[in-house]
Amino acid sequence: MTSTTAPRSDKLHSLAAYRAALREFLESDPVLDEWRGRHYPTVAGELAHHSQLVQLLYSGGWNRYGWPETAGGLGGDERHRAVLYDELSAHGLPVPGQHLVMETLGPPTVRFAPELARTLFPGFLGGTEWWGQGFSEPEAGSDLASLRCRATREGDEYVVDGHKLWTSYGATARRLVCLVRTGSTESRHRGLSMLLIDTDTPGLEARPIALASGREELAEVFFNSVRVPAGRLIGEHDQGWAVAMYLLQFERGMYAWLTSTVLLQRLESLRDQLRERGIRRDGAAARLGNVYLDIVALRARSARTVARLAAGETIGPEASTDKILLATAEQALYDAARDLLGPLLDVGTGADLDTWRDEWWYSRAATILGGSAEVQRGIIADRVLKLP
């Protein structure tokens, strides 16, 4: 085995062997230094540079474990992907932004659209393209069953008309996985379908949305008689809600674990920056300790969720617990960074402080995006605890 290539072997289906081989690679290849400690002024620049890291990981086979061979992977399960994110973060490397969306959109594509997974997913996994998620609309955020963006079947095509909002990576993605209405408005969740739509299709327009930080993480997408081949359907016609519910358990579980690895690395970075800058504030140690406990609680919970996913179990409404713990840990870390770095975070210069500012702004949405904290607590109360 070389230091750059993962052996295609059943041995690496063992998590311990995979982790050991991956660590050897991450610790020995100097090329990886190109991605350490970088700040990206724009999301487009970040994704473009991260795509090169994804391609490097793919060419070595490292990010192919955890995905089926029918979709360009090398076998294994969700735990392999969890190990990859753990080790990337532990070695000071970014988890590529593409993988954040891949964890949400990849599993339902593999399960409900095997031909699309075979032909298109390898490009996503290999880093030559990335996809975006188009679910929310101006009047359909947490209540997706009320969405209005419509797809009408005409022969071998769907014609899509409508409007999506807060579309992840919508301005740069090669394709969008969109939840659209194919039934009547009154049919609610029973009249929804899932489509994979190329962003260069005539009639589709994506307008970037600048967040408070100035970064354009999201986009507003308009569909004007966009024609989509019927073969781009993920799942069955009018059965998109089942696909969305399957997707949700990965958005909750795998995304929570992935983010927990990043938060742990960022906590260590914050501690080091405070030490290097000679910043001493009353209660700083206790503050950092409490943040660590929040992250550990998240990791303990999401590790169990990942193990259940790997075992083929269905994660139900209890996944809302993962979402709440994730938002709690994320905001606790970045609020601590703002308080402990003080004015430096507001007006200081340098790539490290620019990164902290961007991350603090983005963390404000942690209790809203992907389902608000209030909605998640309601789900837990009603469907898990069975409260009156």
Which pair of structure tokens corresponds to residue 231?
């073969």
In the chain the beta strands, taken as DSSP E runs, fall at 131-134, 150-154, 157-168, 175-181, 192-198, 204-209, 218-229, 233-234
d(CA 147, CA 220): 15
End-to-end Cα, the chain, rounded Å:
59
Cα angle: 133, vertex 136, 141; to 5 degrees: 140
**Would you state the torsion angle of the CA atoms of residues 327, 329, 330, 336, taken in this order, to the nearest 10 degrees?**
130
Q: Which residues contact 7 (CB under 8 A, 6 or more apart)?
A: 1, 21, 61
Judge whether 299 and 258 are in contact, CB under 8 Å: no
Which residue is listed with tokens 């008689």? 225
CA 91 to chain centre: 20
CA 7 to chain centre: 27
Residues 336-377 have pLDDT tens digits of: 999 999 999 999 999 999 999 999 999 999 998 888 899 999
Given CA atoms 60, 176, 79, 371 in this order, what sign does their dihedral have?
Answer: positive
d(CA 249, CA 268): 29
List the chain pLDDT tens, one digit each, 388 residues: 344 666 666 667 799 999 999 999 999 999 999 999 999 999 999 999 999 999 999 999 999 999 999 999 999 999 999 999 999 999 999 999 999 999 999 999 999 999 999 999 999 999 999 999 999 998 877 677 889 999 999 999 999 999 999 999 999 999 999 999 999 988 888 999 999 999 999 999 999 999 888 999 999 999 999 999 999 999 999 999 999 999 999 998 999 999 999 999 999 999 999 999 999 999 999 999 999 999 999 999 999 999 999 999 999 999 999 999 999 999 999 999 999 999 999 999 999 999 999 999 999 999 988 888 999 999 999 999 999 8
For the annotated catalytic residues, the residue numbers are 251
Residues 260-284 have pLDDT tens digits of: 999 999 999 999 999 999 999 999 9
Question: In terms of pTM, does the model score above 0.75?
Answer: yes
Domains in the chain with CATH codes:
10-125 (1.10.540), 131-238 (2.40.110.10), 242-384 (1.20.140.10)
Helix (H, G, I), strand (E, B) or coil at 216: coil
Which residue is listed with tokens 């837990």? 380
- pLDDT at position 3: 46
Q: Which amino acid is at 288?
A: L
Which pair of structure tokens corresponds to residue 46?
């970040």
d(CA 62, CA 64): 6
On the CB side of 125, how many CA atoms lie within 13 Å of its CA?
A: 29
> What is the phi/psi pair of residue 235, to 5°?
90, -160
Which residue is listed with tokens 């408005």? 185
